């Protein structure tokens, strides 16, 4: 009976030590001394899907308010597919006065979508983060 108690207690002690070492190496040591970088990606297509038609000003302010960016440039161009003529074009830019553009992390996006009127809308968006 005494031998069984020793075997059981030794196996329990081994299990506890194994779990402690596993947690130590996978959860604690993996985060020390290592630099990790995370890319912040905001879902610009989801913002575009909120409304069927945008003005450049409204879209730029919505992107700034939703993503927390400090710089936003929006250009919306509508082109007639039959005549290949520009039907309308709208641009708007929100730029900080205190931060030079060289210090910003700028991401560019281009999205297109067709309309039922036989035109195509092209959204050119640049978003800058500090």
State which residues form the domain around 91. 35-129
Same domain, yes or no, for 49 and 25? no
Measured from the Cβ of residue 88, the count of other Cβ atoms closer than 10 Å reads 10
3-state secondary structure 21-68: HHHHHHHHHHHCCCCCCCCCCCCHHHHHCCCCCCCHHHHHHHHHHHHC
DSSP H/E element including 20: helix 2-23
Same domain, yes or no, for 22 and 77? no
CB-based contacts of 90: which residues, under 8 Å, 6+ apart?
55, 56, 57, 75, 76, 77
**Pairing of the two strands 105-114 and 119-129:** antiparallel
- pTM, whole model, 2 decimals? 0.66
Per-residue pLDDT of the chain (130 residues), as tens digits, is 777 888 888 889 889 998 888 877 777 666 666 555 555 556 888 899 899 889 999 999 999 999 888 999 999 999 999 999 999 999 999 988 788 877 888 889 999 998 888 899 999 999 988 8
Number of domains forming the structure of the chain: 2
Supply the pLDDT for residue 77.
96
Supply the pLDDT for residue 29.
63
């Amino acid at each position: 009976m005494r031998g069984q108690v020793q075997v059981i207690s030794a196996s329990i002690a081994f299990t506890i030590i194994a779990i402690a070492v596993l947690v130590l190496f996978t959860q604690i040591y993996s985060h020390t001394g290592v630099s990790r970088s995370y890319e912040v990606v905001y879902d610009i297509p989801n913002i575009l899907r909120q409304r069927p038609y945008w003005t450049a000003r409204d879209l730029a302010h919505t992107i700034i308010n939703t993503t927390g960016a400090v710089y936003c440039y929006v250009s919306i161009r509508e082109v007639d597919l039959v005549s290949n003529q520009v039907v309308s074009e709208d641009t708007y830019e929100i730029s900080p006065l205190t931060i030079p553009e060289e210090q910003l992390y700028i991401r560019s996006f281009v999205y297109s979508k067709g309309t039922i009127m036989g035109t195509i809308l092209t959204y050119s968006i640049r978003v800058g983060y500090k």
